[in-house]
Amino acid sequence: MTNQNMFSDDGKIRILYTGSINLKTRNPSPLFEAVRLISLSKNSKYLERLEIIFIGQNVEILKELVHKFSVEKWVSIQPE
């Protein structure tokens, strides 16, 4: 087996989550709120290389949260 890089060498910082979302125990809202606050600040340049990828279930819940926090620019949702 060879050691392969899953992502291209484009300088992006990626956060990858695979699994289900449960708003009580696995809620990405704090992450989305942090990204939203950074995007509104003078430090928004730090988000230029950020990409958050979700692969899993409960896609509709994620879409609602992404819209609620206005983080569409940084979040990608891919169903299983």
pLDDT per residue rounded down to tens, the chain (80 residues): 455 565 678 889 999 999 888 889 989 999 999 999 999 999 999 999 999 999 988 788 899 999 999 999 999 998 77
Rounded to 10 degrees, the C-alpha dihedral 32/37/40/43 comes to -110
Q: What is the pLDDT of residue 79?
A: 78
Model pTM score: 0.83
| Closest-CA residue to 76 (of 59, 3, 12) | 59
